[in-house]
Structures are given as C-alpha cells and as structure tokens.
Amino acid sequence: MEPIDYGISRLSIVPIRAKGSDASEMISQLLFGEHYAVLEESKNKQWLRIQNVFDGYEGWIDAKQHYRITQEYFEQIDNSEYKICTDLTSQILYGKSVIHITLGAVLPILNNSLFMDQERFAFNGEAKSIHQRWSVDLTLELAKKYLNSPYLWGGTTPFGIDCSGFTQMVLRIAGYRMPRDSKDQITKGKEVGYENVMPGDLAFFTNKEGKMNHVGMVLSPTEIIHASGKVKIDKLDEQGVFSVEQNNYSHHLFKIKRILRDYT
C-alpha cells in the first residue's frame, strides 16, 4: 500500500495500537525521532495506520499525536546518518519547551545541534551513530541499563518494556536491525547449541504448552537478562531459565541464536 502521508514522533512516546481505539491493546511504541509512513486514516479521522520505518511494524496511532513531515524530509531521514540517545533519560530543548526523551530515542544531530524540518533543537546528552556497531561488552553494559524496568506489553522504554522490545532496543542501540516480535527475531542470526553459547546471544524459550513466547539476552553460559515481570538477571542452563525469585524453571530453552558479529 502506498503511503498517504509521512510523519515523525515529536513526543517522548507514542503508543502503537492493534486497532484504532484507545481501548485496543498497545502492541509497540514510537520513540522520539522515529519516522513512519501513514498507510490509512480511520473513517472518523481520529486514527492513523502507520508503518515504523525501522522495523516495518504496523499499527494505529492517535491522529492528534501525528506530526506531519514532507516526503522530501522523510527520504532525507532515510538517507542520513543520525544518532541514537544512549542516556537512560535526557532532555531536548526547543525554544522554552523541554521534551523528555528516553534511551533509544532517535536524534538527527549536526554540529551538536539537532535539526528537524528546519526547526532547531538543542541536545546536550550522550548519543552514538545509529549505524555504529558496539562490542559485546558495551552491548551487555547497555542491556544492564534496563535492569528493574517494569514489564509492559508493547513497551520499548526503561519505564516499561516487554521481552522482545528489550532485545530489539538493546540490539538497535548497539547498531543491529532486529524485528519487533520474538517470532520474527528467532529467524535472524546463526543457531548455536547451548554448549557453544556466548555472551550477547539471544535465547528463545517456550511455555508449558510448548509455544515459543519469550526471548532474552545471554550474559554468560549461566546467566540471562530478560524482561519477565521486570528486566532482571536469572540463572540459565540447558533446561532454560531458573527464576531466582520463584525458585523454579520459568521458561524452557528452545533455541539460541547468535546476532553479534564479534563471534561470526
């Protein structure tokens, strides 16, 4: 479907919903600076079906949270080297207004100033090139920034995040493009056995019914960081995740995939 409009997030977080309704489940989020194509407008004109350019994810956003940009600017973003916020939280100053942003927000930065559609923003926080790939050690340090973030279905920030949102955001900030959902993330990378597991690998798990429904990042052959209730570190072995809090196996190991290039 051809886009009918183009936009960019000008808010800290924009919920993406499964349907065009406030009552519909949140399936993901747009962070500040993420651009998207508008594919459809609801009949009541209150909702827009959009596609996030980074991961191709589609859903509905509130039309009041849509900030329109030209096709020319949309394509400029696609073809430019932008940066991504590496602070847990930070601020962007726009005139006398402050916009609060989180880890993973996208920043079009030039000469220490941030430009969006001919408007100037000031940003004094920490950021890195969105395409610069970090080492495994830096990636694991980044993952630990999310520790104790509450679990939130559809969330992608330190203030609420789900399991696949966590792995996607860590890898995105580290310079890797990953799909939004675990069912798609499992199709990426190289499969390895538990006996060859390395820090930074993604581990996928099944529930009691045998359905793959969970993903986390390996810290060591005996530890995993994942979002389950909150982002936390649990024990890992060839059976799966042993919950320190529950004193039992909470997730059964299904498959391990290697994404980070330090080992490939």
100 is an active site residue: no
Structure tokens, 172: 């995105």
Query: Which listed residue (35, 66, 85, 226) is catalytic?
Result: 226
What pLDDT does residue 119 have? 62
Mean pLDDT score of the chain: 93
CATH placement of domain 1-79 = 2.30.30.40
Q: Which helix (H) or strand (E) holds 212?
A: strand 212-220
214 is an active site residue: yes
Calculate mean pLDDT across residues 257-261: 92
| Cβ count near 40 (within 10 Å) | 15
Which strands make up the sheet holding 106-107, listed edge to edge? 106-107, 83-85, 127-129
- pLDDT, one tens digit per residue, over 48-67 is 999 999 999 999 999 999 99
Reported as a pLDDT band with limits 50, 70 and 90, residue 96 is: confident
Q: Which of 180, 196, 202 is nearest to 254 (CA)?
A: 202
Confidence check: pLDDT of 95 > 80: no
CATH class of the region 136-258: alpha beta
Calculate mean pLDDT across residues 209-218: 95
- pLDDT, one tens digit per residue, over 176-187 is 999 999 999 999
226 is an active site residue: yes
Residue-range domain boundaries for the chain: 1-79, 81-132, 136-258
pTM of the model: 0.94
What pLDDT does residue 210 have? 87
Query: Which listed residue (35, 66, 85, 214) is catalytic?
Result: 214
CB 47 within 8 A of CB 66: no
**Share of residues in the chain with pLDDT > 70 (%):** 95
What pLDDT does residue 81 have? 80
Calculated CA dihedral for residues 165, 7, 132, 183, nearest 10 degrees: 30
Confidence check: pLDDT of 110 > 60: no
What pLDDT does residue 80 have? 81
Dihedral sign from CA coordinates of 51, 57, 62, 64: negative
What pLDDT does residue 120 have? 72
- pLDDT, one tens digit per residue, over 158-176 is 999 999 999 999 999 999 9
Query: Which listed residue (35, 66, 163, 251) is catalytic?
Result: 163
Reported as a pLDDT band with limits 50, 70 and 90, residue 263 is: low
